[in-house]
């Protein structure tokens, strides 16, 4: 056998051969490799060969191999591993390296969780075992929904750091622009700020008297030349007329070079400018590029273009002070944007650097990061400025950012919802949430290709409402149409070949009526952008994005690639047993038309994943991206499933609502209300299946509560995100339309929009089933008036209309005043029948009704300015347009209905600071106190009356006159004078000043004595601080004389406000299980044989105050008090509860006057703050226990009937239930 040489020995001679060089006196030596003969005596485990083969396949781009190539690759993998073993690696070393157990591995996935060999074998075997889930439907695990409740709420929307409010110094170009706009008297036609090379160029266009004036300015540091022309249509360069050329201009081959000049203004740094004035309107725009020495600057590889043919609808607004934002952080982002534009690597690294500052700024800090990242994702910001970055460098920066966000997510649960949204814009590969990109990219296509109307706008609206696999076909049809020289027959052929007819297009919730109509010059841009968009559509509707997220967590595998079968590399540890089978079930059903099994699988997957998201995990971000993908797939599946709900019954729709609500709750930081809504829907489904009579009535209450929850979520997003979008958008020159719809698009992208759509489908079904009709008429009065549409009744409550007015208000809280001149208030909102505004309407003979039908409401809103006649019944409102003669006839009839004159008698201090209930008289206290005193000992023994004392009339005025309060008194005189002169802002200052009053010693001692003699607890016995709390509450009651609602109400009926005196009724608070209000004559129908009552859980403030939602309402015939009939179940999400305490109730001489209902205008203030509790009605026996419900409601009706008989007139009664015992806390004549 010939042995190979293994060593080469040499020395080195110079050219002339006289000098010899050695290696420290020895010859240089090189070891030669032995001939490779690795076939003998080396065995590699097959599972490791399998993994190595997979890695080679992945490195080679996951190509489709022939069987021969597959075998070749498998053997090449074996050879590579044998070579490593020949170099000394053991089997254990190879296993550790391949399964990522080697901490020194330089693999980009070395951070991943390891998997032992035994685990690997187990995984491989699992694929051969029977699947846990059937192929048709999964079995959802039973769960206690209360354990899903999260109460992680950021304390405030105010930034935590003081630096957040520091003003940002304006940049040079901003100062220049502001000065230029102030100098000009001509309105701005359009204004834009364009970015280039870390600088900006301001473009102002003005038009006046047939002339167009273009003004450009830049803060670029080097001398710059504008290379420009004019155009009559897009894409052309025309020689400008020689007589309009600015100074320093040189015509050059179809264009002009103009050296920009330094502006002679006092600025921090130089600004270069260009001005041009054009006569007439023959030119539509000005293309240009910029030149500085050897450098040419363009607008992202396109020419810059000034369009002066169409006025911009929205000139970029200046949001100045950045109120409601983490302003200091947003200013820093704006300053760093020019650097961030270089590449994704730069942007992601900058974002990672800013996370600590965002954390210090609190919730608004992360809101700012989200806004910035979303502006990036929607292509409002430049993605790359010709900066060469390797993909792995972008990936590394992206990993760094997501690692930092992952750490914040684990440590700060109150920011998780915002962090999820930020992660969805960043994504694993810079692409973000694919489902959301469907909505974002259609806007980009419309804007870039100038095709915002017609079919494209209709498709845009359809995509926003419910994207579906049809959209893939529509996109392909559009591309075929464009490719084939805009042949419309090709468009229809592609649609029809794929089952989409004209009728189907018209059947969508947002129908597509129009055919495409593009211009020839749009061809290339449309083909490019629609091709890109097609990939996005296919990613969503083929589950590709979900598939990659699943693959990332399960380990890399591909069951269809021969030798890769069963290979798993780098799986996430700790996943639930059977989870891979569940995810496979999801992928198998992701494209099916029947989406119900898919939705169940997706939500089960999210539920099982949830515990891992609540704690630290070294692969937390991979789990988060999986959860985001599952969430996104739920949303697109629901939209795809709308069609199967078209003919569905209420049970199916309710079930779908519960699924979407579950998905929304799993993505929300503060989800307690959502969870209780979810429990409510499940209870409604149980009622439906059990064929309970009131299932639809109960389901309607859950629907109303769900709507309130959605509205609160939308308002919260608007409060947190929109100010940051407006301020940062202004700083970065983002398109105004993108700023205006920022929060709206965030909301529409989530489950909330799908939930709202489903709720709207179910509402008319429930109303019909429960015989609720389209209206709830609270005050049935026939009227004629002119329609005016407002957003909130609150904004017009102090207005005076000079002609009869029907107000259609989107929001009515319940405590507003009805403005003078209003004859009707119609609203989709749901104030309680016994709320302040409802009482005001009935007392003032004003028509007041809630409209549940969105179609009717839209029709009424469309009649803005028209004269209508309203004819309400107890359950409907008939309206029609009329002419002025009918209004004249009605006005002449109403002249006879003149309200009585009302006056007050001023009360005097009678020398007493406190009196017991036995001493209550009309000279000392108001009707509220006197009625309570009268009831004591006269009502049935099972009706409790709380012990009461009072601070009588005149005590407030006496306290003010004390020497210790002289400064307060003098300030009040000044403020009252300002108020009399029309300064309404003085009302708030008066209330604040009243709180500065000091308590005379005599008052303290007399009140203490009176309360103790009446067996009431004295607050001071618990310490001086408790008395101070009581004294503060008393002063708040007095100060409520000057609340806006009360003040304007007295002015309307010409009551002398100075003559209004305030006694204070003092009662021990009963910590109520329920509170109620009774009207012993039904206020809606006027039926005196029928009692109407409303009940809430907890204290009654949620019933009489401005708390959203409805109470439980019922009627009861006086001749059958044991048979109450429930009219509506409660939808109020909040209940108020309190410790044993004292309440101080307002009791003025301006309440319960004939012809004027002053009750409810002034404040009642408990000594202790109430606890707000989110209510779960599925555990409330008043809802779930029929016998308990009947007893409580019957007791309330009997108490009302007894008190009405005692007085002999209809009564308005307030009371509470505690441990089954009924208490009446006040009564007054019903108006």
Estimate to the nearest angstrom the gap between the alpha carbon of 389 and the chain centroid.
36
- C-alpha–C-alpha distance, residues 484 and 481, integer Å: 5
DSSP assigned state of 998 = P
Phi/psi for 202 (5° steps) reads -90, 135
SS3 readout for 406-421: HHHHHHCHHHHHHHHH
- C-alpha–C-alpha distance, residues 369 and 420, integer Å: 12
Beta pairing, strands 199-208 & 272-279 = unpaired
Q: Which residues contact 240 (CB under 8 A, 6 or more apart)?
A: 228, 229, 230, 256
Of 974, 1174, 1196, 1083, the closest CA to residue 149 belongs to 1174
Residues with a catalytic annotation lie at 836
Of 231, 206, 228, 204, the closest CA to residue 218 belongs to 204
Q: Are 191 and 262 in contact (CB under 8 A)?
A: no
Beta pairing, strands 188-196 & 867-872 = unpaired
Query: The dihedral of CA 1064, 1066, 1071, 1073: what is its sign?
Result: negative
Q: What is the DSSP string of 587-629?
A: HHHTT-S--HHHHHHHHHHHHHHHHHHTS--TTHHHHHHHHHH
Looking at the DSSP bridge assignments, the partners of residue 623 are none
- C-alpha–C-alpha distance, residues 1074 and 1201, integer Å: 19
- C-alpha–C-alpha distance, residues 281 and 211, integer Å: 8
Q: Are 926 and 1151 in contact (CB under 8 A)?
A: yes
Q: What is the DSSP string of 761-812?
A: HHHHHHHHHTT--SEEEEE---EEEEEEEEEEGGGGTT-EEEEEEEEEEEE-
CA distances 602 to 98, 178, 580, 638, Å, are: 32, 53, 13, 11
Of 468, 459, 582, the closest CA to residue 515 belongs to 459
Query: The dihedral of CA 660, 664, 665, 666: what is its sign?
Result: positive
Q: Are 261 and 248 in contact (CB under 8 A)?
A: yes
Say how many C-beta atoms besides its own lie within 10 A of residue 1165's C-beta. Answer: 21
- C-alpha–C-alpha distance, residues 794 and 421, integer Å: 34
Of 242, 193, 235, 195, the closest CA to residue 215 belongs to 193
Q: Are 333 and 309 in contact (CB under 8 A)?
A: no
Of 646, 772, 637, 669, the closest CA to residue 152 belongs to 669
- C-alpha–C-alpha distance, residues 455 and 459, integer Å: 6
CA distances 505 to 215, 441, 458, 465, 760, Å, are: 47, 21, 10, 14, 22
Looking at the DSSP bridge assignments, the partners of residue 1037 are none
Phi/psi for 547 (5° steps) reads -60, -40
Q: Are 230 and 245 in contact (CB under 8 A)?
A: no
Q: Are 574 and 554 in contact (CB under 8 A)?
A: no
């Amino acid at each position: 056998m010939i042995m190979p040489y293994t060593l080469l020995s040499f020395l080195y001679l110079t050219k002339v051969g006289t000098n010899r060089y050695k290696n420290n006196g020895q010859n240089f030596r090189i070891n030669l490799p032995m001939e490779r003969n690795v076939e003998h005596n080396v065995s590699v485990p097959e599972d490791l060969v399998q993994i190595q083969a997979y890695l080679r396949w992945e490195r080679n781009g996951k190509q489709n191999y022939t069987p021969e190539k597959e075998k070749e690759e498998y053997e090449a993998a074996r050879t590579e591993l044998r070579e490593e073993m020949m170099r000394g690696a053991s089997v254990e070393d190879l296993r550790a390296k391949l399964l990522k157990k080697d901490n020194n591995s330089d693999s980009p996935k070395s951070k991943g969780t390891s998997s032992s060999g035994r685990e690997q074998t187990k995984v491989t075997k699992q694929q051969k075992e029977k699947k846990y889930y059937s192929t048709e439907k999964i079995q959802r695990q039973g769960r206690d929904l209360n354990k899903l409740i999260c109460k992680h709420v950021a304390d405030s929307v105010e930034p935590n750091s003081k630096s957040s409010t520091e003003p940002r110094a304006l940049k040079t170009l901003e100062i220049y622009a502001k000065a230029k706009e102030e100098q000009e008297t001509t309105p701005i036609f359009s204004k834009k700020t364009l970015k280039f090379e870390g600088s900006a160029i301001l473009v102002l266009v003005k038009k006046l008297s047939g002339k167009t004036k273009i003004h450009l300015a830049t803060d670029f540091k080097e001398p710059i030349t504008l290379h420009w022309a004019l155009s009559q249509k897009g894409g052309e360069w025309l020689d400008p007329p020689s007589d309009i050329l600015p100074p320093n201009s040189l015509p050059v081959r179809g264009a002009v070079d103009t050296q920009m000049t330094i502006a002679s203004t006092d600025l921090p740094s130089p600004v270069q400018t260009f001005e041009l004035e054009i006569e007439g309107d023959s030119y539509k725009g000005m293309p240009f590029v910029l030149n500085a020495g050897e450098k040419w600057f363009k607008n992202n590889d396109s020419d810059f273009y000034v369009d002066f043919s169409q006025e911009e609808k929205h000139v970029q607004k200046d949001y100045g002070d950045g109120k409601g934002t983490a302003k200091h952080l947003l200013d820093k982002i704006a300053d760093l944007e020019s650097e961030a534009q270089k590449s994704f690597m730069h942007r992601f690294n900058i974002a990672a650097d800013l996370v600590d500052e965002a954390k210090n700024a609190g919730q608004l800090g992360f809101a700012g990061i989200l806004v910035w990242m979303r502006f990036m994702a929607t292509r409002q910001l430049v993605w790359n400025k010709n900066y060469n970055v390797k993909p792995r460098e972008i990936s590394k920066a992206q990993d760094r950012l997501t690692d930092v966000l992952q750490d914040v997510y684990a440590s700060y649960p109150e920011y998780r919802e915002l962090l999820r949204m930020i992660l969805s814009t960043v994504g694993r590969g810079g692409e973000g949430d694919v489902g959301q990109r469907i909505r974002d990219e259609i806007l980009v296509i419309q804007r870039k290709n100038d095709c915002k109307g017609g079919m494209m706008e209709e498709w845009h609206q359809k995509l926003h409402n419910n994207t579906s696999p049809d959209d893939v076909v529509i996109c392909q049809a559009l591309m075929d149409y464009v490719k084939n020289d805009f042949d419309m027959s090709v468009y229809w052929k592609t649609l029809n070949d794929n089952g989409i007819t004209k009728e189907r297009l018209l059947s969508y919730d947002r129908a597509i009526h129009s055919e495409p109509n593009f211009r020839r010059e749009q061809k290339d841009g449309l083909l490019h952008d629609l091709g890109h968009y097609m990939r996005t559509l296919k990613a969503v509707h083929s589950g590709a994005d979900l598939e990659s997220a699943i693959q990332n967590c399960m380990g890399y595998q591909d069951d269809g690639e021969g030798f890769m079968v069963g290979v798993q590399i780098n799986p996430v540890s700790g996943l639930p047993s059977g989870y891979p089978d569940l995810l496979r079930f999801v992928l198998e059903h992701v494209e099916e038309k029947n989406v119900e099994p898919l939705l169940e699988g997706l939500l089960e997957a999210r539920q099982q994943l949830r515990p891992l998201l609540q704690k630290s995990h070294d692969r937390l971000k991979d789990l988060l991206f999986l959860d985001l993908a599952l969430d996104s797939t739920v949303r697109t599946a629901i939209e795809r499933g709308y069609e199967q709900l078209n003919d569905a019954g209420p049970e199916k729709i309710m079930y779908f609502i519960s699924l979407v609500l579950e998905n929304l709750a799993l993505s929300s930081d503060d989800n307690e209300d959502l969870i209780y809504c979810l429990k409510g829907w499940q209870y409604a489904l149980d009622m439906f299946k059990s064929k309970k009579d009131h299932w639809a009535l109960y389901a309607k209450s859950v629907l109303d509560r769900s709507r309130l929850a959605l509205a609160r979520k939308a308002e919260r997003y608007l409060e947190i995100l929109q100010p940051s979008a407006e301020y940062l958008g202004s700083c970065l020159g983002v398109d105004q339309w993108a700023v205006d719809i920022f929060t709206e698009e965030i909301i529409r992208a989530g489950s909330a929009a799908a939930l709202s759509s489903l709720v709207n489908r179910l509402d008319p079904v429930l109303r019909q089933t429960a015989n609720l009709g389209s209206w709830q008429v609270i005050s049935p009065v026939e009227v004629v008036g002119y329609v005016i549409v407002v957003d909130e009744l609150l904004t017009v409550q102090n207005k005076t209309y000079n002609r009869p007015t029907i107000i259609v208000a989107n929001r009515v809280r319940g405590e507003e005043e009805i403005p003078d001149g209003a004859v009707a208030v119609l609203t989709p909102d749901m104030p309680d029948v016994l709320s302040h505004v409802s009482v005001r309407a009935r007392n003032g003979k004003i028509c007041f009704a809630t409209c549940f039908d969105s179609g009717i409401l839209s029709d009424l809103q469309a009649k803005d300015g028209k004269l209508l006649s309203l004819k309400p019944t107890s359950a409907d409102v008939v309206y029609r347009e009329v002419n002025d003669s009918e209004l004249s006839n009605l006005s002449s009839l109403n002249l006879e209905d003149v309200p009585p004159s009302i006056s007050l008698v001023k009360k005097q201090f009678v020398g007493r600071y406190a009196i017991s209930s036995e001493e209550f008289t009309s000279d000392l206290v108001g009707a509220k106190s006197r009625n309570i005193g009268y009831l004591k000992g006269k009502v049935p023994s099972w009706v409790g009356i709380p012990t009461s004392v009072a601070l009588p009339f005149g005590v407030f005025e006496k306290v003010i006159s004390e020497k210790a309060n002289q400064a307060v008194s003098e300030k009040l005189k000044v403020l009252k004078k300002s108020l009399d002169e029309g300064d309404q802002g003085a009302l708030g200052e008066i209330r604040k000043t009243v709180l500065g009053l000091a308590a005379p010693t005599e008052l303290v001692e007399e009140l203490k004595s009176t309360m103790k003699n009446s067996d009431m607890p004295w607050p001071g016995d618990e310490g001086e601080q408790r008395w101070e709390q009581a004294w503060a509450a008393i002063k708040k009651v007095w100060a409520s004389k000057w609340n806006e609602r009360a003040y304007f109400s007295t002015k309307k009926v010409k009551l002398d406000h100075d003559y209004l005196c305030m006694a204070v009724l003092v009662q021990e608070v009963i910590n109520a299980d329920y509170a109620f209000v009774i009207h012993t004559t039904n206020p809606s129908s006027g039926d005196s044989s029928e009692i109407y009552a409303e009940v809430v859980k907890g204290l009654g403030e949620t019933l009489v105050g401005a708390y959203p939602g409805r109470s439980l309402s019922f009627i009861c015939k006086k001749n059958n008090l044991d048979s109450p009939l429930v009219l509506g179940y409660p939808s109020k999400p909040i209940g108020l509860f309190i410790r044993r305490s004292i309440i101080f109730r307002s009791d003025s001489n301006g309440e319960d006057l004939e012809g004027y209902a002053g009750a409810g205008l002034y404040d009642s203030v408990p000594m202790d703050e109430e606890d707000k509790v989110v209510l779960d009605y599925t555990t409330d026996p008043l809802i779930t226990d029929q016998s308990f419900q009947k007893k409580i409601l019957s007791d309330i009706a009997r108490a009302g009937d007894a008190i009405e008989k005692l007085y002999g007139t209809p009564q308005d009664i307030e009371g509470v239930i505690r441990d089954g015992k009924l208490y009446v806390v006040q009564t007054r004549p019903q108006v």
